[in-house]
Amino acid sequence: MKISRSHLRPLLFNAILWSAVFVLLLFSFSHFKLPKKIDYIYTGSFLVTIIIPVLINLYLIIPVLLKRERYLPFILFFILNLFAFTLFNRWFFNYFIDFVFPDYFFISYYSITELTGIFFIFLLGTTLLKLAEDWIHFNTAENRQLKIKNQQIQMQLASLRSQMNPHFLFNSLNVIYALALENKETTKDAIVQLSDVLRYIIYDSNTSRVTLKEELLLLKNYIAFQRYRHKEADKILFKQDVQDEEFSIYPMLLLPLVENSFKHGAPAKSDENFISIDFVQKDNVFQFTIENHRREDYENLNGGYSGVGLANIKKNLEIVYPDAHELEIIEGKNKYSISLKLYKDAP
Q: Write the DSSP string, 262-282.
A: HHHB-PPPTTS-SEEEEEEEE
In DSSP terms, 239 is beta-bridged to: 278
> Which of left, alpha, beta for 56 (phi over 0: left; psi -120 to 50: alpha)?
alpha
pLDDT at 287: 95
**Neighbouring C-alpha atoms within 13 Å toward the C-beta of 146:** 6
268-291 tens-digit pLDDT: 665 667 889 999 999 999 999 999
Cα separation of 311 and 48, whole Å? 65
pLDDT at 341: 94
Cβ neighbours of residue 333 closer than 8 Å, sequence gap 6 or more: 294
The pLDDT > 70 percentage for the chain reads 79
Q: According to the 3-state scheme, what is the secondary structure of 72-139?
A: HHHHHHHHHHHHHHHHHHHHHHHHHHHHHCCCCCCCCCCCHHHHHHHHHHHHHHHHHHHHHHHHHHHH
Cα separation of 76 and 70, whole Å? 11
Cα separation of 99 and 93, whole Å? 10
304: pLDDT confidence band, cut at 50, 70 and 90?
A: very low
Of 347 and 216, more confident = 216
Average pLDDT of 284-312?
A: 69
Cβ neighbours of residue 207 closer than 8 Å, sequence gap 6 or more: 251
Average pLDDT, the chain: 80
Query: Residue 82: what residue type?
Result: L
Q: What is the pTM of this model?
A: 0.52
With vertex at residue 123, the alpha carbon angle to CA 120 and CA 127, rounded to the nearest 5 degrees, is: 135
Average pLDDT of 55-78?
A: 91
Which whole-number Å values give the CA distances from 159 to 21, 154, 156, 345, in the listed order?
54, 8, 5, 25
Among 166-170, 220-224, 321-325, the least confident range? 166-170
35-62 tens-digit pLDDT: 888 888 888 888 889 999 999 999 899 9
Average pLDDT of 172-181?
A: 78
